[in-house]
Structure 1
Amino acid sequence: MSRDLSLRKLRYFMAVAKSGRVTQAAIDLNVSQSSITTGVKEIEEQVGVALFRRTSRGMTLTREGSRFLQRVNYAFQALDDAFDGLQDSHPTLKGTLRLAMTYTVAGYYMPPLLAQFQRRYPWVKVELYEVSRPEIEEGLTSGEFDLAILLTSNIEHHQWLEKLTLTQSRRRLWVNGQHELLKRDHITLQDIAHYPYIMLTVDEADQSALKYWKPEGISPNILFRTSSVEAVRSMVANGTGVTILSDMVYRPWSLDGKRIEHIELNNPIPPMELGLSWPRNRPLSPAAKAFCELAQGFSI
């Protein structure tokens, strides 16, 4: 079997895996839909397995596709490491960066970004803090933290803080792999209001959810509240309930190997926004500036 998998085709595969739609992947990469479709098909022919399940709602990763995506991510990380190793480090940049983050950032976004920063700026001492959004806002204004990376869509004290959104992550409905809602072409919040709902509470996810439920004049039928993403994932996968969460924390399989599907809703659900924040009345340190510059070119 040929192993000639170009980086271009692998990027097509990653874009479809991220968005779940060929049309969106084509927009994200600024190429034609036919290029995306052909590239993904050629990869599947070369590896000899189906990487996606095609449905009327889009494309979702198979178990083999999820494993392949994990390995492709490792490969691109290795490429980043190789290029970083050839670039000059910045021994003249020293000091301390006091960097705060919230739970979601720490678990689903920060690790590869932090590793890249540490490789590039080995003489900067990074002090890390995982705290809540209110604690971050207070710490930035008091000078306890130099910089924070958090859900910028949750920031309250805009008058005191600068913010720079780095990425947006769509929120979609999560159901188990045999759920009856998968048979429908159009689903609204009204359609799911009577189903048991598993409400994630960490990073103010419950408050964010009510912001798009309330305008519809309805409320979710909350069965269970939890701060654990894995608890939500397992309960949805086992058919205990449904939820709406961002693609950033979505994984197609629970820890016990059961399938989770995510579905686009017809209601206008705002995306989760993640980015940087720092105090307006205090200039960024050189280390903080370097982190901001690196973060703006970073993607997962």
Structure 2
Amino acid sequence: MLRISLEQWRMFRAVVEFGGFNQAAIGVHKSQSSIHNAVSKIEDSLGVKLFQIEGRKTVLTPAGQMMLRRANYLLDEAAKIEAVGQTLGEGIEGKLKIAVDEIFPQKLLYTVLDAISIQYPLLQIELVESILTGASELLANKEVDIAISPIALNEGFSEELCQIEFIAVATPTHALHQLNRELTLEDLKSYRQIVVRDSAISRKKDEGWLGANQRWTVSHLRTSVDMISNGFGFAWLPLTSIFNELKSEQLKALPLSHNSKRTTKLHLTFIDGDRLGPAATAFLVLLRAQCSNLPSSPHA
């Protein structure tokens, strides 16, 4: 028989998260005495001191720090068990939330989403378009069920889904094309580059070479394509996003002597496969099948 309940571990963690007993009581809507009693129960049962007072601050003891790591794991696993049970109890999920990096081929994505909607007509699909680390951050924060991201997870499930090829482009009338010779990276430094901003809130980074002296930074890939198509700069863009512009000669590949093409891997990621319902599982199967037809896909 366990001597300490999950609720008591939650109260212990709340004191740490909110920075004190008074703050924890307000944060979790409990009385201060109930918070104190929960922590005292743990300390008495285990024979350890979890907190000590330093000035006006309540801080963890070394033993408390060790117990917090264990408690975090225990509470996270308990939450996962409840989520799995809820999924099993509900059967087919009513909503599927997916974060997708904007460089992923849109036509392929739409094909998969349409097939899933036909198979599960009552399913509500919420699509969040992101850039760089944005999809991974949404997944880590449990705001989406599945993410397609250039970032592989350290925890959870990650598999390489496909590779996206980028090429350096500008309009045919752009000054870089008027040089009428092979270009170097030094040539590019004198011209404006269009850079796509990371959509993540934390750990932001920008997409691109970043060597140009003048840059415009935008929030969406489509904005970058539009700007470059109108002659406002150059950039490395995914081939799948500019197929029509290249075909109509609205955009033209820059004749770089080196690094004219680049590839980025996209990963299929989710935290816990047991928490995914039938519709999410079907989405994964169809997505993998469609990506296997991409020339650069690792499944090809």
TM-score w.r.t. length of structure 1: 0.52
CA distance in 2, matches of 1:230, 1:129: 16
Larger radius of gyration: 2
> Could you tell me how far 1:271 is from its partner in structure 2?
1.6
Partner of 2:113: 114
CA distance in 2, matches of 1:190, 1:94: 56
C-alpha contact 1:198 1:223 (8 A) present in aligned 2: yes
Question: Between the two proteins, what is the percent identity of the paired residues?
Answer: 18
> Could you tell me how far 1:197 is from its partner in structure 2?
1.3
Partner of 2:145: 146
Verify: 1:284 aligned to 2:276, yes or no. Answer: yes
Verify: 1:259 aligned to 2:254, yes or no. Answer: no
CA distance in 2, matches of 1:285, 1:240: 46
Q: CA RMSD in A?
A: 3.6
C-alpha contact 1:200 1:225 (8 A) present in aligned 2: yes
C-alpha contact 1:103 1:202 (8 A) present in aligned 2: no
Answer with 222-231 or 168-177: which moved more.
222-231
Partner of 1:250: 242
Q: Secondary structure at the match of 2:287?
A: helix
Partner of 1:293: 285
Partner of 2:159: 164
User: Of 171, 192, 195, which aligns to 1:196?
Assistant: 192
Amino acid at match of 2:276: L
Amino acid at match of 1:154: I
Amino acid at match of 2:183: I
Amino acid at match of 1:198: I
CA distance in 2, matches of 1:225, 1:272: 20
CA distance in 2, matches of 1:140, 1:237: 33
Verify: 1:96 aligned to 2:94, yes or no. Answer: yes
CA distance in 1, matches of 2:103, 2:251: 22
C-alpha contact 2:254 2:260 (8 A) present in aligned 1: no
Total equivalences in the alignment = 194
Q: Secondary structure at the match of 1:259?
A: coil
Q: Secondary structure at the match of 1:194?
A: coil
Verify: 1:130 aligned to 2:120, yes or no. Answer: no
Structure 1 pair 230–147 and aligned structure 2 pair: CA distance change class (3 A): closer
Amino acid at match of 1:259: Q
CA distance in 1, matches of 2:222, 2:290: 26
> Could you tell me how far 1:107 is from its partner in structure 2?
8.3
Q: Secondary structure at the match of 1:170?
A: strand
Q: Secondary structure at the match of 2:259?
A: coil
Partner of 1:7: none
Verify: 1:209 aligned to 2:208, yes or no. Answer: yes
Q: Which runs of 5+ in 1 are unaligned?
A: 1-92, 214-218
Amino acid at match of 1:117: I
> Could you tell me how far 1:298 is from its partner in structure 2?
0.9
TM-score w.r.t. length of structure 2: 0.52
CA distance in 1, matches of 2:225, 2:277: 40
Partner of 2:266: 274
